[in-house]
Amino acid sequence: MFKRVIKYSNKHFSLFKSIEDITDLRQKPQISSADISTSILSILLSNLGSLNRFNQARNISSVGNIAGRIPSTSTVARSADTIDLNRLREILKSIYLKAKRSKMTQPFNGRYIGIIDGHEICSSDLHRCSLCSVRNVSKIEGVVKLNYYHKYTAFILAGQKFAFMLDIEPIYPLEGETTSALRLLDRVCINYPKAFEAVAGDGLYLNGATFGLLESHHKYTIAVLKDETRELYTEALALSKTTKPLVYEDEGITYRAWDHTISGLWDGYNKPVRTVRSEETKTVRHHCQELGKWDVQEERAEWMWVTNLPPVVDLKNIISACHSRWQIENKCFNEIVSTWNADHVYRHSGNAISAFMLFLFIALNIFNIFFARNIKDKRIRSKTLLIDLIKAEYLLARWVRPIPV
């Protein structure tokens, strides 16, 4: 299966051709950045989880490093310290463009929505670098116990079967998520001008700077409204109490939804905005203590959002777009940590952490497309089984070059 996924990457995305011109700043390197990038992609695609496992896998190979092109773990680490992140972003973009042209990506419920959020990638009480953020985690008064961590903002495209990972940006020490997010949003709007029409974010993104920046790139914004002290919140709530909701059902959930256009209540953004409120009810069954019987419970949730999407986008569509925001939790952050070991620090330096994350995005986009479109064997239903099959073949391969095919 490892050979199949590599072949697929080359056939559809020219992956290993596109990494040939990757560079790093090592002086007189014996092993090229391209060979190192090949090794990194192999490590990630076969989900080895650490450079140590890579070292062990290298030793299992009965042929060994006869061509002198398979890097040691320390060479991989040193290269990652200075590898060119912009080139990695260009490769991500070329994969996206090819996937879009070949209709391998699909919109989410008919709309192309970008999602942004911040996430902590790793933390340690011991290991740190010059770009670590730091916090006091002591539970004892007067005692200082420091914890070092890295955070970043990520941008993905919501999709029907899978989300497409587009870019990340570090949140540097002493800066807030919004500062990093504005850099990231500006870059993805320039690099992907036609990839999405609106961007969804949590309550942190309900600020004039985000709405203004995206508007300057001709994009709309959707942000969660949960701050009860905001005038927008009280006004939207009051208006919904005096008007009839739109009531509809979708995939077992009953929606009661309100949509109001409000002007003049938000200093940060001077134009009218739509506030959307949605009460959502679904019936869920739990196993009852009595064998073979079920407990039936009603679950209710309530949401409010603010958006500048135009009136032509109807309320049902807006609510679907708002909920696509969960994909960054479920299909990005949770999945890359639980399935792909993304919280493992392969090399602790600011550049290396970003590089491994961008390499992981490259590998995951291809893997997700491969899983959705190329696996016809009905027994391979889960990604974890597919990963196991890829890993097994990789571990047993005879290596003479960085890529054992």
Nearest distance from residue 47's CB to Zn ion, in Å? 24
Stretch of 39-47, 54-62, 130-138, 249-257 lying at the interface with Zn ion (CB under 5 A): 130-138
Give the residue with the Cβ less far from Zn ion, 85 or 129: 129
Nearest distance from residue 205's CB to Zn ion, in Å? 26
Give the residue with the Cβ less far from Zn ion, 149 or 371: 149
Query: Does the footprint of Zn ion cover residue 358 (CB under 5 A)?
Result: no
Sign of CA dihedral 210, 342, 35, 28: positive
Please report where in the chains the tokens 């109001």 appear, as a residue.
260
- CA 114 to chain centroid, in Å, comes to 10
Stretch of 81-89, 129-137, 191-199, 285-293 lying at the interface with Zn ion (CB under 5 A): 129-137
Query: Does the footprint of Zn ion cover residue 77 (CB under 5 A)?
Result: no
Q: Which two tokens stand for residue 70?
A: 């398979």
Query: Does the footprint of Zn ion cover residue 121 (CB under 5 A)?
Result: no
Query: Does the footprint of Zn ion cover residue 122 (CB under 5 A)?
Result: no
Nearest distance from residue 177's CB to Zn ion, in Å? 17
Residue type present at position 239: L
Give the residue with the Cβ less far from Zn ion, 203 or 350: 350
Query: Does the footprint of Zn ion cover residue 132 (CB under 5 A)?
Result: yes
Nearest distance from residue 179's CB to Zn ion, in Å? 18
Give the residue with the Cβ less far from Zn ion, 153 or 221: 153
Query: Does the footprint of Zn ion cover residue 129 (CB under 5 A)?
Result: yes
- CA 38 to chain centroid, in Å, comes to 22
Give the residue with the Cβ less far from Zn ion, 18 or 180: 180
How far apart CA 146 and CA 136 sit, in angstroms, is 5
Nearest Cα residue to 302 out of 330, 274, 276, 328: 276
List the x/- string, 293-322, binding to Zn ion by CB under 5 A.
Answer: ------------------------------
How far apart CA 209 and CA 393 sit, in angstroms, is 49
Stretch of 57-65, 69-77, 127-135, 391-399 lying at the interface with Zn ion (CB under 5 A): 127-135
Q: Which two tokens stand for residue 313?
A: 């986008």
Identify whether the C-beta of residue 162 lies closer than 8 Å to the C-beta of residue 137.
Answer: no
How far apart CA 125 and CA 12 sit, in angstroms, is 43
Query: Does the footprint of Zn ion cover residue 237 (CB under 5 A)?
Result: no
How far apart CA 170 and CA 189 sit, in angstroms, is 17
Nearest Cα residue to 363 out of 136, 46, 122: 46
Nearest distance from residue 121's CB to Zn ion, in Å? 10
Nearest distance from residue 148's CB to Zn ion, in Å? 6
Query: Does the footprint of Zn ion cover residue 223 (CB under 5 A)?
Result: no
Please give the size of the binding site for Zn ion, defined by CB under 5 A. Answer: 2
Q: Which two tokens stand for residue 55?
A: 């070292």
Stretch of 123-131, 242-250, 254-262, 323-331 lying at the interface with Zn ion (CB under 5 A): 123-131
Nearest distance from residue 356's CB to Zn ion, in Å? 13
Tell me which H or E stretch contains 260: strand 253-262
Q: Are strands 253-262 and 246-250 parallel, antiparallel or unpaired?
A: antiparallel
Nearest distance from residue 178's CB to Zn ion, in Å? 21
How far apart CA 303 and CA 254 sit, in angstroms, is 13
Tell me which H or E stretch contains 305: strand 294-307
Nearest distance from residue 337's CB to Zn ion, in Å? 18
The site for Zn ion (CB under 5 A) is made up of: 129, 132
